[in-house]
Amino acid sequence: MSLLKVKHVSRHFGGNRAVDDVSFELKSGELLALIGPNGAGKSTLFNMLGGQLPATSGSVLFYGKELLGLPSHRIAHLGIGRSFQIAATFASLTVVENVQAALLSARRQIWSFWKQARSLHVDDAMSLLEQVGMHEQAFRPCSELAYGDVKRVELAMSLAGEPRLLLMDEPTAGMAPSERVSLIKLVRSLVEEREMAVLFTEHSMDVVFGYADRIIVLARGKLIAEGQADYIRAHPEVQSVYFGKGRTFDTGGDANVPEEGEPAGGTQLPEESESARDVRPVVVPTAQPGQDTPLLAVRGLNAWYGAAHILHDVSFNVGRGEVLALVGRNGAGKSTTLKALMGLVADRRGDIQFMGKSLAHCKPFEAARRGLGYVPEDRRIFTGLTVQENLMAGQQPPRVWPDGASVPYWSLDEVFTLFPALASMRGRQAGMMSGGEQQMLTVARTLMGNPYLLLLDEPSEGVAPIIVEHMVEMILMLKQKGTSLLLCEQNLHFAALVADRACVLEKGLVRYTGPMQALAQDHDLRQQYLSL
């Protein structure tokens, strides 16, 4: 007997059919993967199953009981757990307090006259945290965690209600490959031990192909394919709309990196558009970096969150027209480094020289005006504004280098050419976009600032493989035109396609700086510092 039966479910937003007549079944003990391009309708379908969004039509039966029309808390109490694409935790609470809150909700304990909430179910909360590998960080505030660790906390919270069905929206987002494998193995063991079922969305193909019992594929709201890994991998329509050339992901084996001398990406770079050549640039008064002077020079950078010392004397350079990949395990300090450069960490010390001038005391908007562009991992879009309004909010005057060379200029036309999906949504509210579409919007909005140096925090996270390939082309084009990039990236295959050099962080310390190819091809080095 099927645990879950989804029959002809649809959801329309005006004339947009986000989910269009989708049907499938899920049995106990089964791990079912739901994949598809960004905007395919995956999160919309999840929101209907979880009660966060009403369906336009159809039926969803859970052990024979109709779910459509029930509020989300009733669905949760029936035994359906949920984790979200953007992790939903209480940032101001500690890790263990988040799980305690979930246990109190699952056990319907609203208040007690005699006891404080933080004293209840501590042992049960710690047990759940141990299952997901977060017990050592139990008393840290969630606001201080790396995003991948936040996802682990959310998994522990979703297990608090002892669900029979778990809906997981991109559960391994923000995790290194070994961490992804560890987590999905844990989920697999939970499925077997608890005789539960899991329906999950995922863009990491090593997880999907390696651990899903079956795979269903959505595109433009319709189910286009269903079957096991080999069938899905070879399906021509899935390849066309989702996998692309498949160069930015791997399903096993060693790092998939370009050979020495092979052009990364192997794609034809677009010509500079006519509109970009017609714009009269404004010269930004900055110092001319000499031949031996890096565009960005970081020396002895330290950063703290409260009493927690996160970065320890971090030092590195980024040259003009260079791509430097900042890599390391979750919690190594990669995102903190980018935030410290932008002035988003209140307690930072050290020397940061950009274009020959210090950023040490600059506020974020001052760093942006100087030509430092930042794409945060958590997107930070204006959800109440349209796509076009978000893009215009990031627009800055065109720039040139002190030697007279033009910095790549980005107008709306250039951005919409680079991301055609955004062009078709220019009038849509950003809050109505999928997570991957929001990621594209964040990158595009930062490009509208015409930066000299672009800081990218996990640019490939949460987007379809075909879009990741598109980002490879974008980065190579920017690099070819002289723009520099500093990127934090868990996807080593992606980083190896675009980066010249790598800087490895471990617990806030620089452990390796050198050629990207050397890191990608050195198994012992990757195993030691990246668990790859």
List Cβ neighbours of 497 (8 Å cut-off, separation of 6 or more): 247, 248, 257, 258, 264, 265, 472
Q: At what angle do helices 95-106 and 122-131 cross, to 10 degrees?
A: 110
Which range has the worst mean pLDDT, 2-6, 40-44, 344-348, 470-474?
470-474
Nearest in space to 64 (alpha carbons), one of 23, 17, 5:
5
The single-letter DSSP state of residue 120 is S
Identical fold for domains 1-79+163-243 and 277-290+320-342+371-530, yes or no, is yes
pLDDT of residue 477: 85
Q: For residue 186, is pLDDT > 90?
A: no
Domain ranges of the chain: 1-79+163-243, 87-162, 277-290+320-342+371-530
Q: In whole angstroms, what is the distance from residue 491 CA to residue 39 CA?
A: 22
pLDDT, averaged across the chain: 83
Confidence of residue 7 (pLDDT cuts 50, 70, 90): very high
Question: Are the C-beta atoms of residues 206 and 250 closer than 8 Å to each other?
Answer: yes
Q: Angle at Cα 240 formed by Cα 234 and Cα 241, nearest 5°?
A: 115
Taking only the tens place, the pLDDT of each residue in 213-232 is 999 999 989 999 999 999 99
Out of 103-107, 173-177, 315-319, 396-400, the most confident range is 315-319
Question: Span 476-496, mean pLDDT?
Answer: 86
Centroid of chain to Cα 58: 32
Residue 72 backbone dihedrals phi, psi, to 5 degrees: -60, -35
Q: Which residues of 159-194 are buried (b: 16+ CB within 10 A; e: fewer)?
A: bbbebbbbbbbbbbbbbbbebbbbbbebbbebbeee
Q: In whole angstroms, what is the distance from residue 504 CA to residue 524 CA?
A: 14
Question: Are the C-beta atoms of residues 453 and 161 closer than 8 Å to each other?
Answer: no
CATH for 277-290+320-342+371-530 (3.30.365.10, 3.40.50.300, 3.30.70.3400, 3.20.20.70): 3.40.50.300
pLDDT of residue 267: 32
Question: Are the C-beta atoms of residues 10 and 44 closer than 8 Å to each other?
Answer: no
How many other CB atoms are there within 10 angstroms of residue 205's CB atom? 22
Q: In whole angstroms, what is the distance from residue 156 CA to residue 44 CA?
A: 23
Q: Which fold has domain 1-79+163-243?
A: Rossmann fold (3.40.50)
Question: Span 163-174, mean pLDDT?
Answer: 85
Dihedral class, residue 283 (left if φ above 0, else alpha if ψ from -120 to 50, else beta): beta
Nearest in space to 531 (alpha carbons), one of 517, 515, 511, 514:
511
